[in-house]
Structure 1
Amino acid sequence: MLPLAVALASVQVHADTFIVNDIRLEGLGRLSAASVYALIPFSSGEAITDDQSSDIVRALFASGQFEDVQVLRDGNALIVRLVERPSIASITLEGNQSIGKEDLLKGLKSIGLGEGEVFKRAALDQVKLELQRQYASQGRYGATVNATAKPLPRNRVALSITIKEGDTARIKRISINGNQVFKDDALLKQLQLQSSHLLSFIYGDDKYSREKLSADLETLRSYYLDRGYLRFNVDSTQVSLSPEKNQVYIDINVSEGEPYKITDVRLAGEFPVPEADLRPLLLAQPGQVYSQKVVTLTNEIISRRLGREGYLLAEVQGVPELDDASKTAKLVFYVNPNRVMSVRRINFTGNLKTDDQVLRREMRQFEGAQASGEKIDLSKLRLQRLGYFSDVKSENVRVPGTTDQVDVNVAVTEQPSGSISASLGYSQNAGVVFGGNISQTNFLGTGNRVSLGLNRSDIRDSYNFSYVNPYFTPDGISRGYNLYLRQTKFDNLNISNYATDSFGGSVSFSYPIDETETISFSLGYDQTDVQLGTTPSKVVWDFEEANGSGLSSYIGTASWQRNTLNRGVFPTAGGSQTVGLEVGLPGSDVGFYKLTYFGQRYMPLRGRWVSRAYGRLGYGGGYGDSDVLPFYRNFFGGGFGSVRGYRDNAMGPRSSLVDKLTGLPVTGYDDEPIGGNVQIEGGLEVIFPTPFVDDNNKVRTLMFLDAGNIFDTEVVGVGGQTFKPDLGDLRYSVGIGLSWITPIGPLTFAIAKPLNEKDGDDTQVFQFSLGQGF
């Protein structure tokens, strides 16, 4: 752009006032005459002085469309000679890796450098400086940016930006100077940034960035404030580079001061609830060393207490009054409740698939009602437990023009809430095997759960369908249906033990007792036909002789569940317990019962590390004319959801170990798991942050110790041995696992090492599953 003074100098100066009869434009190419006339502050027929012609120059330059403007007079006509700026025909980026192309183009467009825009060389120079600044903030101090503009026909240019990012500078040393009370190692451990070490290539904590350093300085300040050092100060920081610009040296100079003790704690301000109700919430007490963490937590607790009464925007601030001579502090919590708030509207964003009604029915805060922080927090927790969202955030925004109304804005981030799996293979025994399963816990965004499965082979077909409406009634009573059919093609298989055909269905209802407890009931029918193989075991033979081959059962179930988990998928806190009873009701061909228990507890450790303990118990038996649990309803163990490192359903008694039909050789039997009527399983997991992954809401890695086995109190082994529960017969395994929420469902891997396997155990070191998490 030419300086304005140069442009004005090109104007022919005249002193007289004259009437403009005509305005002629010269030099236009891509711009229309009408658009230029619209910029000129005068029109034909108006009287102007020669000095006022400079206004035309200023107006046209201000549009940013022209490189040069000259205004000349020819009699009573004005001649405006123009040199247009070129337009940008294309922008080419090369060499950018750490900053995406789309992000770069968006940034360029925000400053007027986009395809079709007017080209401004000054803006291009600004881009070079800004990009170098951004790369420097990433620690890429050797980055270079070269920008060129190539002229094209029809007054256009092609922009080319070539970037050499260079390597990120690594932190060689971090020094903290001036600390006397706390050792360097204790302070450096608090920082995100670390000097290069063996695992830096995984954590990336030796890559310098200005933002991380600022955060670390705040962390350091908080560390001292939490220990009473109220006069702590970061005096200065110096960041220096090696001559090669690939190593960073950081020096942090601090003044520690001395710790302060609290001598008095009191409340001040306006109390909308009795002060006696607030005083027990004061965590800081006289005689304690001052802690900013305790003060902040007290602020939050009192604010939440006031929020329960509708003071949603209450402000609480703990302020220390220091006595430097005695190194003590009086702590005053100032309370400003503001007004009682009501909720005008609840707004949802981010639910692109899920209906608003699905979210709204989980809300315990209602529109038009008095606001309650407790109810808003509970609503957020209920949304997280659905398992449809990887993140749920809420914000209370005051309604403009009011003093007592807020809008509650709830932002959710949806995640896959179902799974799809398919298989196609061939087995020597089963022939061609085809399987497909679809499970969706948020079917078409309605919140209903639908599952459909189909598995077919030359020897066995299996079909199942289930549907659950969690809000069959507005108050949260759910209703569900389940149908299944499993059929064995007996003629196509030389079965040595037994096979079963079965079909049935059930209807179920669940009733919420309160926000965390639910009771459920179901009633179903099952028809199972037992077909003996060529060499059935004595257990199967005896059962078939006593009960026949066609067995009808009316099955009732009842369960109680308590759930305090903070999330529906990948929880990190809380627990759950489930007690269930399944019974073959009177009128059934076989009377049986199965009692089960499952419990788990998540306990935060440090940072993002979390532990989980779990246990699973089961016991079954017969009643009435049946004295044992039907063998086809046995418990099975092994694999995911049980003891990893052992094959699915392969634990416990096996057919080769159980007493066979008299007169038949043991070698004539297939060695296959038969399950048992007792299940004992438990374990401990340590969940840790997944390397290279910032969002652990979709990926989970853990180490585990599993223990358990399947037992039977009724069957007898070949040598007369029993399989009754014995803690000495528990199997143990350790390993590491990863689960990832993909668009087609959870994809789970585990590498496990059985610790005490015995002869005959069916182990499996590597296991994976699609559609089932940990």
Structure 2
Amino acid sequence: MKRGLGFLAALLFALWTATAQALVSFTVSDIRLEGLQRVSPGLVFRNFPVNTGDHITDGRLAEAIRKLFKSGYFDDVSAARDGDVLVLQLRERPAVSLIRLEGNSVIKDDDLMKGLEQSGLKEGEVFKRATLDRIRLDLVQIYTNQGRYGADVSTEVETLPGNRVAVNLTIDEGDEARIQHINIVGNNAFSDEELKELFEMELPDFWSFYTKSDRYAREKLEGDLERLRSYYLDRGYVNFSIDSRQVSISPDNKSIFITINVSEGDLHTVRDVDIAGEMVVPESELAELLRLESGDIYSRKELNKGRDALIKRIGDDGYLFANVSPVPEVHDDKTVSIRYYLNPGKRTYVRRINIKGNTRTTDDVIRREMRQMEAAIASSEKIEQSKVRLEKTGFFAEVNVETLPVTGTEDQVDLTYSVVEQQSGSLAASVGYSQGDGVLLGFSIEQDNFLGSGKNIGISITSTDSTTEYSFKSRDPYYTVDGVSRGYEVYYRKRDFDEDDTSAYSTDEIGAGMNFGYPIDDFQRLNFGATLEQVSINTAQQTPQEVTDFLASEGDNYLNLIGKFSWRDNHLNRGLLPTRGYSQSTSLELALPGSDLSYYRLQYNLKAYKPINEDETWIATGWSRLGYGGEFGSNRYPFYKHFFAGGMRSVRGFKANTLGPKDTPTAGNEAEPFGANLLITGGLELIFPTPFTAGSGKVRTLAFIDAGNVFSTDCATGSTGCDEGVELEEIRYSTGLALSWLTPLGPLSFVLATPLNEKDGDETESFQFTFGRTF
């Protein structure tokens, strides 16, 4: 009986083996897919490594099925044989028909859906449980990194008809954990308060709701620790180390406690400093660039500044790829020896200079500012100087330069200057309003880069309450290839000073002139020219005695040939909204011999910028505007050439042109500002980051203090009640906030100001604005 059962088992095993061999051991003539609904056949064949004509075995078939299953698109995969046709029987995983979000507010729905899509969860796609589980963990980690340690994400998969599912994500974002304590252990050289000031993370204070500085984040902690390390290394503690950091969370996940353990080590000084390697520049010249000397407290910051200075100096002589390695050697006597190893490499030449991004400005306008030439020795100084000159044109919002080695050579580079165009002029048309001028009707355009040519063109057809003007001016800054400029000006101007809240008289002015400019160097420029001008004075019933007395002496029509001379020294890094450097200018307007009047008018302007921090977001600035006018011989200084103070470009907070001496009032009228021949104004400003602009280079905010006034040095040409000379008690002061915005049509500036010492009779304005000028 047992022998019969054994025989039967052997027979069944042989039949099963024969059947299996018949199923898998054959040459595939075709592959048929069954059960597909949404998944494309192409996706199946890409993940199933068996093709028509292949001879398959059981091992190969099993491996192919496993690979297809791992694609994640199927719940079940099986194979059958129909003759020489391989039949794949597939059961697809359900498709995601709907994704529901609930509870999220910190991460908006659109941002969260984009993140889910990038992670592989998207409506219409095949549902994968593993993907959903990974997304849940990733979301929890994202909230944790934001300091929301109590965050939780729950998921639910709802089955829908048609082999579809809805995925429900319920998010409990939790509260942000706040830093309640920062403890530094092991510090003796510096106090806790001094070290904590280095940290971006802080304990809660009044501004925490805005700054979020009391929120913990791992990246913020790493940045704070690096600042702490640099602080010690820059102050002589060579062996400083951060031994450990502990971050503890309260049981309710709402409070963070940070402990940092440090070892300061000893204070080290510099024993000696030397330079080794190939000296392509005299060693004595290089040594003068080093920031550290024997006896100084060691500083890693100064060490690196010395390295950068050596690289730049060697680069100025054409060794752009010089390598300078500073190596400090620490001694047991608490001193450090520093050696700079120089490897200048080969002298480099510029093969080609490429220009990118100039959609409006022509290439030649950019190339004429280049101080680095093609086929010449590459110079770090000239490359940077070319960049600065482009920035100072005012045509570009941003200028970057990239140095690229030429493939296949060791001594050639290509330079690529990338520019971002910006509005370099202003446009006004139709109806507008301006404080000081009132209603504006007309059209004016001022373009410093006309049609991308680099030329300045100005056309004005303007009518305001106080001024009617028709003018045309043109200036070519490169009239010659050497940078000699030439300009023209033709104008007709009618000014009603009474409408400008000054004395009651008006002028008609017709003039034409030409001027030339000569560059002294890359920073200084001389300009001179001449204008032939016809001026007529018109009086009114309220015209003050000072004007009528002048007209009785000098007449009311003057034909003057006016010489104009100026000098400018510009070291600003940009034409608009500069961040560092200074600019000063002096100008002289002089009535030349043969003119009906004899006078001169001298002005001086200064503006300086000094960054306070390294990223140049906090900047201290100072400005001054001075003027003086006088007469020659028996002629009197013309009153219509007086200086005025008050307004946007003077002492802000006081109404434009209202400071200084006033005229003698006529019967029934009040005294009006008359101006004077001496101008003294100036101020200090603090530029600070503009809130909510994310570092935009088109907006600038600042706090300011202004001071100044106008004074008369000769009361014979001033008002009858004026006091001669400068009186310090008459200096006016104001303070406030200002904002400049580079709009597509030109700069727009606003001021909120408060006078600090206004007196009876002063006219003040707390809000002022202007279009076409920046601060």
Q: TM-score range by the shorter chain?
A: 0.7 to 0.9
**Aligned 1:173-572 pairs, distance under 5 A:** 173-324=181-332, 326-348=333-355, 351=358, 354-413=361-420, 415-420=422-427, 424=431, 434=441, 437-456=444-463, 461-487=468-494, 497-572=504-579
Aligned residues of 1:203 and 1:691 also touching (Cα < 8 A): no
Deviations 1:356-375 (A, max 9, x none): 55444333223333221111
Whether 1:622 and 2:623 are equivalent positions in the alignment is no
Paired position in structure 2 for 1:652: 660
Distance in 2, Cα, partners of 1:195 & 1:570:
35
Aligned residues of 1:203 and 1:692 also touching (Cα < 8 A): no
Distance in 1, Cα, partners of 2:655 & 2:176:
46
How far does residue 302 in structure 1 lie from its aligned partner after superposition?
Answer: 0.8
| Structure 1 counterpart SS, 2:135 | helix
Deviations 1:190-224 (A, max 9, x none): 22222122333444332322222211111111111
**Aligned 1:151-190 pairs, distance under 5 A:** 165-190=173-198
How far does residue 271 in structure 1 lie from its aligned partner after superposition?
Answer: 2.5
Paired position in structure 2 for 1:6: none
Paired position in structure 1 for 2:762: 761
Deviations 1:177-202 (A, max 9, x none): 11112111111112222212233344
| Structure 1 counterpart SS, 2:607 | strand
Deviations 1:660-696 (A, max 9, x none): xxxxxx3344543222222111222233344555427
1:707/1:112 CA distance change after superposition, 3 Å:
same
* Unaligned ranges ≥5, structure 2: 1-18
How far does residue 715 in structure 1 lie from its aligned partner after superposition?
Answer: 4.0
Deviations 1:617-640 (A, max 9, x none): 111233467x23322222121112
Whether 1:583 and 2:590 are equivalent positions in the alignment is yes
Distance in 1, Cα, partners of 2:618 & 2:148:
31
Paired position in structure 2 for 1:687: 687
Q: Which amino acid aligns with 1:677?
A: N
Aligned-residue Cα RMSD (Å) equals 3.8
Identity of aligned pairs, percent? Answer: 47
1:559/1:489 CA distance change after superposition, 3 Å:
closer
Q: Which has the larger radius of gyration?
A: 2
Q: Matched residue pairs, number?
A: 752
1:458/1:419 CA distance change after superposition, 3 Å:
closer
Distance in 1, Cα, partners of 2:377 & 2:558:
58
Q: Which amino acid aligns with 1:170?
A: R
Paired position in structure 2 for 1:662: none
| Structure 2 counterpart SS, 1:636 | coil
Aligned residues of 2:200 and 2:224 also touching (Cα < 8 A): yes
| Structure 2 counterpart SS, 1:288 | coil
| Structure 1 counterpart SS, 2:713 | strand
Q: Which amino acid aligns with 1:319?
A: V
Distance in 2, Cα, partners of 1:670 & 1:470:
47
| Structure 2 counterpart SS, 1:276 | helix
Which range moves more in the overlay, 686-695 or 142-151?
Answer: 142-151
Distance in 2, Cα, partners of 1:532 & 1:165:
76
Distance in 2, Cα, partners of 1:515 & 1:250:
54
TM-score (norm 2): 0.86
Which range moves more in the overlay, 135-144 or 209-218?
Answer: 135-144
Distance in 1, Cα, partners of 2:364 & 2:158:
56
Distance in 1, Cα, partners of 2:743 & 2:165:
44
1:510/1:167 CA distance change after superposition, 3 Å:
farther
Deviations 1:50-106 (A, max 9, x none): 443335435645666555433221222111223446667787777766667776666
Aligned residues of 1:239 and 1:250 also touching (Cα < 8 A): yes
Q: Which amino acid aligns with 2:683?
A: G
Paired position in structure 2 for 1:750: 751
**Aligned 1:731-750 pairs, distance under 5 A:** 731-750=732-751
Distance in 1, Cα, partners of 2:119 & 2:359:
31
Distance in 1, Cα, partners of 2:370 & 2:263:
49
Deviations 1:511-540 (A, max 9, x none): 222111112233334333322112322332
Which range moves more in the overlay, 255-264 or 615-624?
Answer: 615-624
Whether 1:52 and 2:60 are equivalent positions in the alignment is yes
TM-score (norm 1): 0.86
Aligned residues of 2:545 and 2:664 also touching (Cα < 8 A): no
1:16/1:722 CA distance change after superposition, 3 Å:
closer
Aligned residues of 2:643 and 2:676 also touching (Cα < 8 A): yes
Distance in 2, Cα, partners of 1:746 & 1:142:
48
Distance in 1, Cα, partners of 2:97 & 2:491:
63
Paired position in structure 2 for 1:677: 677
Aligned residues of 1:394 and 1:411 also touching (Cα < 8 A): yes
Q: Which amino acid aligns with 2:78?
A: Q
Deviations 1:264-304 (A, max 9, x none): 22222333233333222232222222111111111111111
Distance in 1, Cα, partners of 2:469 & 2:20:
95
**Aligned 1:697-736 pairs, distance under 5 A:** 697-716=697-716, 721-736=722-737
Which range moves more in the overlay, 534-543 or 582-591?
Answer: 582-591
Deviations 1:725-749 (A, max 9, x none): 3334322223333333344433333
How far does residue 228 in structure 1 lie from its aligned partner after superposition?
Answer: 1.1
| Structure 2 counterpart SS, 1:128 | helix
1:288/1:39 CA distance change after superposition, 3 Å:
closer
How far does residue 35 in structure 1 lie from its aligned partner after superposition?
Answer: 6.3
Distance in 1, Cα, partners of 2:427 & 2:249:
52
| Structure 2 counterpart SS, 1:667 | coil
* Unaligned ranges ≥5, structure 1: 1-10, 658-665
Aligned residues of 2:530 and 2:562 also touching (Cα < 8 A): yes
Aligned residues of 1:655 and 1:669 also touching (Cα < 8 A): no
Paired position in structure 2 for 1:573: 580
Aligned residues of 2:503 and 2:673 also touching (Cα < 8 A): no
Deviations 1:577-606 (A, max 9, x none): 101112233444434321111123223445
Q: Which amino acid aligns with 2:281?
A: V
1:309/1:693 CA distance change after superposition, 3 Å:
same
Aligned residues of 1:637 and 1:643 also touching (Cα < 8 A): yes
